[in-house]
Chains A and B, each alone.
Chain A
Amino acid sequence: MQVTINKVFPLDGSVSDAWSLLENIEQVASCMPGAEITEAVDENNFKGTVKVKIGPMHVAFKGDIAVQEINPSEHQIHLIAKGQDSKGTSSASMDLTASVRSGESGASELTGDADVTVDGKLANFGGRMMTQVADQILGQFAENFSSKLGASAGSEDSAQTESGPAPQVQEINGLKFAWQALIGFIKSFFKSKT
């Protein structure tokens, strides 16, 4: 099952600072909740893991990340990540194009366009759940990215963060996501009506 995600997140830092963070895959991975780069195969190929817990399900993806293109002039990076759960219950792949650009009021913005394909147990949750979960994962990623970038700038505007920047290898917690997904789902009703 495939979901397409297009996101724009405001960042605290400048475009050049944000870009230097974005082009460093290992740094980027550390912003991904539950994710870790375990091996740098070469300049453009990495191996990594992502752990997700949704309700009673623990899924630990092992996979490869292949950087397709780094375009410094456009501040854009294109990568493909593919992984399979070690127990063989699910697989996921992501074709991601991310870039930084100058945003409103002088700050920068992170944009991400991703096609996420999920097969197996996770896909049985259906699109309504997957989109919400993916949204939340990316939201938390952007939050971590921004706080890493802002470092000391703090994060007063992100009221949902309970304990500052996430530790590097925090499992993605599905229950928390489910709660946030529910809120997102309810909000989406009002958005479509107005």
Chain B
Amino acid sequence: MSAAPETVERQEQLQGIGCSRKRKEDPRFIQGKGLYVDDVKLPGMLCGEVVRSPFAHAKIVSINKEKALALPGVHAVITAEDLKPLGLHWMPTLAGDTQAVLADEKVCFQMQEVAMVIADDRYIAADGAELVEVEYEQLPALVDPHKAMDANAPIIREDLVGKDEAGQGKRTHNNHIFTWDVGDKDATDRAFEKAEVTVREEILNPRVHPSPMETCGCVASFDKVNGSLTVHITSQAPHIVRTVVTLLSGIPESKVRIISPDIGGGFGNKVGVYPGYVCAIVSSIVLGRPVKWIESRIDNLSSTAFARDYHGVGELAADKDGRITALRFHALADHGAFNAHAQPTKWPAGLFSICTGSYDIPVAYARVDGVYTNKAPGGVAYRCSFRVTEAVYLIERMIDVLAQKLDIDKAEIRRRNFIRADQFPYQSALGWEYDSGNYAPALEKVLEACDYEGLRKEQAEKRARGELMGIGLCTFTEIVGAGPSKACDVLGVGMFDSCEIRVHPTGSAIARMGTITQGQGHETTYAQIIATELGLSSDDIQIEEGDTDTAPYGLGTYGSRSTPVGGAATAMAARTIRAKAQKIAAHLLEVSPEDVEWDVDRFHVKGNPDAAKTMKEVAWAAYNNVPEGMEMGLESVNYYDPPNFTYPFGIYLCVVDIDRHTGETSVRRFYALDDCGTRINPMIIDGQIHGGLNEAFAVAMGQLISFDEDGNLQGNTLMDYFIPTFVETPHWETDYTVTPSPHHPLGAKGVAESPHVGGIPCFSNAVVDAFAHKGVTHIDMPHTAFNVWKTIHELGLDS
């Protein structure tokens, strides 16, 4: 009765939650009408180009600006010496360390920022940068984090000598940054001693780079007359940037306006504050003219925000049936020359402690040691929540290692260890409370869809013929939606997020958000949430983000937090409006508010659907006919502090065929089942999963930021750095189950990062599985043809 055709039609007209509504932002993007930072051109604007260090570790003997300054069109060359009087030659990082804005007496990584040349245009600035002469005295460079901890290793951060902490607790060595650990070490050690079976494996997450299509950049414009600063910037967190700018410059936050316009992909690369931004801002303040700085592709790959570089050791203890009894993980985290790790302030290893995964593990201990090396600073979450990819990679690889050791099928060992549906909310050994999950049925769904039994039979036959075929499984749990302010903050600001909705008299609405889209489709999906909550068509709802002068304060978009936090704020703000609307509707219908009920897009008198007022009618009344004593208008702002993280999960299966002569790995099939709770826009979810799987494929099969032993970058251009195009990318099959989050107002969990987090170990598991019958338990990424061939060759399988 309730789903009358007329009701369904009204619901469909709203294009609300669950509708595969086409992306509202696409018409402007596909017509080239987006507005990116580099499209911003202001009158009198100058351009900055960074002079970078050619060496990984060197003392700066002298910097000669004369020739550069003599070049017509060059306005200034700034160095650390120029920033020093302003106290801006060093800046604080998100991780409690300090980072040189421009190299102060020494350089600590190749391509480090040494000077900035400001000129009339980009070409002159680049020519000017070539003319800046810097004399260096080279020092021995450290590239390997293990060697960085040697007793007599060269000291990278002389500014920290004698200091026993670098903002993250006690450090034990000049190149040591922090030790972070969690769990019951003694109980874990005892469980290992008593265990029937143990496995151990050294597992590397190599250094990679998120490499968004648009590089980082900004246009800083200081107005000397009224003392205000406007910065257009490629930032995933514009409000935090505003706070940082105020803390650094002393300009009141009310006179700093940060605008993140259209952003061409972030993937964690655009979370931090980079020296280029600071130099452009300082130059604009000093010169009184707008200054633009845009990274080249080489600059971006070389200097701003790498990801991973986790050198892990995984250990599992189990009984003979493969039931895991304890987990012990350690990682040596290479943070580069400065600890510019992207993290909630109190989490030096991010959310790495999600490493017990989807499994019911009674006791666990995890430890991460951060170290300095002569490499670019960072450690950002590349399409994942903080350090979750590293954690999931370790557990999903280790459970396969255990399966091989016990000769148990890789699907079966997962079944035996899964957290059961009746255990939720589940308290993990490392302190998390998983909100909801239902792993076992999802696994069976995937195994059946892919005919897992059939695949294993085929593999056995192929092995008998000497052919290489691998089947990879990954049954992961993510932790996203940072986060509850009792646990998470950035520079002291709690990690809430916000939404402000105004319903106009004629029944359209605008919502302003503290998050910022970089391709996630916020303009489309947030409008769908409001459409369902308020009964207004999503086409009549504008979403605006990224301008700190108009948007409510928010922590931005990364770590899949927009839907879990911003989406929740949207629902809550809409519900406040609906509650007020209910009173107005009751007033118009001349009944008491308790006597009206909500019906898709209207309120009607209980038991009399014909006595109704639509939300549009209520909106009009909100501006001329409200109950006595009520304020006019129909708007609300909500700052949502989530009670918990959300825990999306997925079951992935990958089949690879490997050419035993060339090492070429072809992905025959990739099946991805995701459970992100309530699905707001299934088409956008599919798009996000395709994108995330592409990036997982990129990382697993080819991406690597590599260095020679002296810290020289080897391959910091797209000639070497692997970006899969549609030529290389396999076909993706997607599927889903729905296990809503019990604490989220909509039951939604976030999805964009799951495919990356779960995809990478799935590829590795498939490649290793192809060699499992030869006793191979682990092969480090990337699984390029050459690397795979080396394994084949060592095993003598190519003869």
Interface residues of A (CB under 8 A from B): 1-2, 84-91, 117-121, 123-124, 126-127
In the complex, the answer to whether B710 meets A88 with C-beta atoms within 8 Å is: no
* Residue from B54, B135, B713, B715 having most chain A Cβ neighbours under 10 A: B54
| CB pair B130 A124 closer than 8 Å | no
Q: Is the CB of A88 within 8 A of B709?
A: no
Contact assessment for A119 and B714 in the assembled complex, using a CB-CB cutoff below 8 Å: no
Instruction: Indicate which residue in B132, B709, B715 contacts A126 across the interface (CB closer than 8 Å).
Output: B715
29 contacts across the A-B interface (CB closer than 8 A)? A1-B710, A1-B712, A1-B714, A2-B708, A2-B709, A2-B710, A84-B135, A85-B54, A87-B130, A87-B132, A87-B133, A88-B133, A88-B135, A90-B54, A91-B54, A91-B55, A117-B710, A118-B712, A119-B56, A119-B710, A120-B110, A121-B54, A123-B714, A124-B712, A124-B715, A124-B716, A126-B720, A127-B708, A127-B714
B residues less than 8 Å from A117 (CB atoms): 710
Q: Which 6 A-B pairs have the closest CB atoms?
A: A120-B54, A123-B712, A88-B134, A1-B708, A89-B54, A126-B714
Whole-angstrom distance between the alpha carbons of A185 and B69 in the complex? 43
Interface centre among A85, A88, A123 (most CB of B within 10 A): A88
Residues A124 and B713 in contact, CB atoms below 8 Å apart: yes
Q: Is B136 an interface residue (CB 8 A)?
A: yes
Across the interface, do A84 and B136 meet the contact criterion of CB distance under 8 Å? yes
* Per-residue A-contact encoding for B678-715, CB less than 8 Å = 1, 0 else: 00000000000000000000000000000011111111
B734: interface (CB < 8 Å): no
Chain A hits for B55, CB < 8 A: 91, 119-120
A89-B54, A91-B55 as given contacts; A123 in contact with B133, CB under 8 Å: no
Which residues of chain B come closer than 8 Å to A1, judged between CB atoms?
Answer: 708-710, 712, 714
Smallest CB gap from A91: residue in B: B138
A150 to chain B, nearest CB (A): 39
- Are B138 and A119 closer than 8 Å at their CB atoms? yes
Nearest Cβ on chain A to B714's Cβ, whole angstroms:
5
A89 to B710, CA, bound (A): 15
Smallest CB gap from B719: residue in A? A126
Distance of A191 from chain B, by nearest CB (Å) = 19
Shortest CB-to-CB span from B702 to chain A, Å, is: 16
Residue of B nearest to A121 (CB): B54
Minimum CB–CB distance from B710 to chain A (whole Å) comes to 5
Determine the distance from Cα of A88 to Cα of B64 in the docked complex, in whole angstroms: 11
Q: How many residues of B contact A (CB 8 A)?
A: 22
Which residues in B have their C-beta under 8 angstroms from that of A118? 712
Contact B138 A86 (CB under 8 A): no
A127 to chain B, nearest CB (A): 8
A87's nearest neighbour on chain B, judged by CB, is: B133
Nearest CB of chain B from residue A154's CB, rounded to whole Å: 42
B residues 43-74 touching A (CB-CB < 8 Å): 54-56
A-chain residues with CB within 8 Å of residue B716 when the two chains form the complex: 124
A192 to B257, CA, bound (A): 62
User: Quick one: closest A residue to B710, CB to CB?
Assistant: A119
Instruction: Establish whether residues B54 and A119, one from each chain, have CB atoms under 8 Å apart when the complex forms.
Output: yes
Cα–Cα distance between A116 and B435 once the two chains are bound (Å): 58
B135→A123 contact, CB < 8 A: no
Considering the chains assembled together, what is the distance between the CA atoms of A126 and B110 in angstroms? 14
- Chain B residues near A87 (CB, 8 Å)? 130-134
Contact A123/B708 with A87-B130, A87-B133, A89-B54 known, Cβ cut-off 8 Å = yes
Instruction: Tell me whether B712 and A88 are in contact (CB under 8 A).
Output: no
Query: Inside 8 A of B715's CB, which chain A residues have their CB?
Result: 124, 126
Chain B 108-129 against A: per-residue CB contact (8 Å), 1 yes, 0 no? 0010000000000000000000
Write out the residue numbers on chain A whose beta carbons fall within 8 Å of the beta carbon of B714. 1, 123-124, 126-127
CA distance A119 to B131 in the complex (A): 19
Complex interface: chain A residues within 8 A of B711 (CB): 119
**Nearest CB in chain A to that of B110: its residue:** A120
A30 and B46 alpha carbons, distance in the complex (Å)? 46
Q: Which residues of A contact B712 (CB under 8 A)?
A: 1, 118-120, 123-124
Complex Cα spacing A90 to B713, Å: 13
Chain B residues within 8 Å of A88, by CB: 54, 133-136
The CA-CA distance from A146 to B135 in the complex, in Å, is 37
Assess the B133–A86 pair: CB atoms within 8 A: yes
Q: Which A residues are CB-close (under 8 A) to B708? A: 1-2, 123, 127
CB-CB nearest in chain A for B54: A120
Rounded to whole angstroms, the CA-CA distance of A1 and B712 in the bound complex is 7
CA distance A124 to B56 in the complex (A): 12
Bound CA–CA A85/B136 (angstroms):
10
Q: How far is the CA of A126 from the CA of B711 in the complex (A)?
A: 12
Shortest Cβ gap from A7 to chain B (Å): 22
> For B130, what are the chain A residues with a Cβ–Cβ distance below 8 Å?
87
A87-B130, A88-B134, A119-B55 given. 15 additional CB < 8 A pairs? A1-B708, A1-B712, A1-B714, A84-B136, A85-B54, A87-B132, A91-B138, A117-B710, A119-B138, A119-B710, A119-B711, A120-B712, A123-B708, A123-B712, A126-B715
CB-CB nearest in chain B for A118: B712
- A88: nearest residue on chain B (CB-CB)? B134
Q: Find chain A residues with CB under 8 A from B138 CB.
A: 91, 119
B window 6-57: CB within 8 A of A? 54-56
Q: Could you say which residues of chain A place their CB within 8 Å of the CB of B131?
A: 87
CA distance A24 to B694 in the complex (A): 60
Bound-complex Cα distance A84 to B58 (A): 12
Determine the residue in chain A with the shortest Cβ distance to B136: A88
CA distance A91 to B141 in the complex (A): 14
Question: Across the two chains, which residue of chain A brings its CB closest to B61?
Answer: A88
Report the Cα distance A89→B136, complex, angstroms: 9
Residue in chain B with minimal CB distance to A126: B714
**Complex: A89 Cα to B709 Cα, angstroms:** 18
Complex Cα distance, B55 from A87, in Å, reads 12
CA distance A2 to B133 in the complex (A): 25
Contacts of B134 in A (CB 8 A): 87-88
CA distance A85 to B54 in the complex (A): 10
List B contacts of A91 (CB < 8 A): 54-55, 136, 138
Chain A residues with Cβ under 8 A from B54's Cβ?
A: 85, 88-91, 119-121
Given the complex of chains A and B, what is the CA–CA distance between A91 and B54 in angstroms?
A: 9
Residues of B within 8 A of A124 (CB): 712-716
Nearest chain A CB to B131's CB is how many angstroms away? 8
Alpha-carbon distance A91/B136, docked complex (angstroms): 9
Q: Which residues of B contact A89 (CB under 8 A)?
A: 54
Most chain B CB within a 10 A radius of its CB, from A89, A91, A119: A119
Specify which chain A residues have a CB less than 8 angstroms from the CB of B133 in the assembled complex: 86-88
Give the interface centre of B709, B712, B720 by most chain A CB atoms within 10 Å: B712
Closest to A128 in B: B714
Contacts of A119 in B (CB 8 A): 54-56, 138, 710-712
Which residues of chain B are within 8 angstroms of A127 by Cβ–Cβ distance?
708, 714
* Min CB–CB distance A108 → chain B (angstroms): 36
How long is the Cα–Cα vector from A69 to B786 in the complex, in angstroms?
43
The residue on B at minimum CB distance from A124 is: B713
Cβ distance B759 to chain A, nearest Cβ, rounded Å: 29
**What's the Cα separation between A117 and B140 when bound, in Å?**
13
Shortest Cβ distance from B499 into chain A, in angstroms? 46
A127 to B110, CA, bound (A): 17
CA distance A75 to B593 in the complex (A): 107
| A84 to B138 Cα, complex, angstroms | 10
Task: Name the residue of chain B whose CB is nearest to the CB of A89.
Answer: B54
B714 to A, closest residue via Cβ: A126
| B56, B134, B711 pick with most chain A CB within 10 angstroms | B134
Which B residues lie within 8 Å of A2 (CB)? 708-710
Bound Cα distance A119, B55 (Å): 6
Which residues from chain B contact A86 at a C-beta distance below 8 Å?
A: 133
* B134 to chain A: closest residue by CB: A88
CB contact under 8 A between A123 and B710, given known A87-B130, A89-B54, A91-B55: yes
Give the chain A neighbours of B709 by CB distance below 8 A: 1-2
CA distance A87 to B54 in the complex (A): 10
Closest to B57 in A: A119
Residues in B122-171 with C-beta less than 8 Å from chain A: 130-136, 138
Shortest Cβ distance from A58 into B: residue: B130
Least Cβ distance of B343 to chain A in Å? 30
- Cα–Cα, bound, A126→B710 (Å): 12
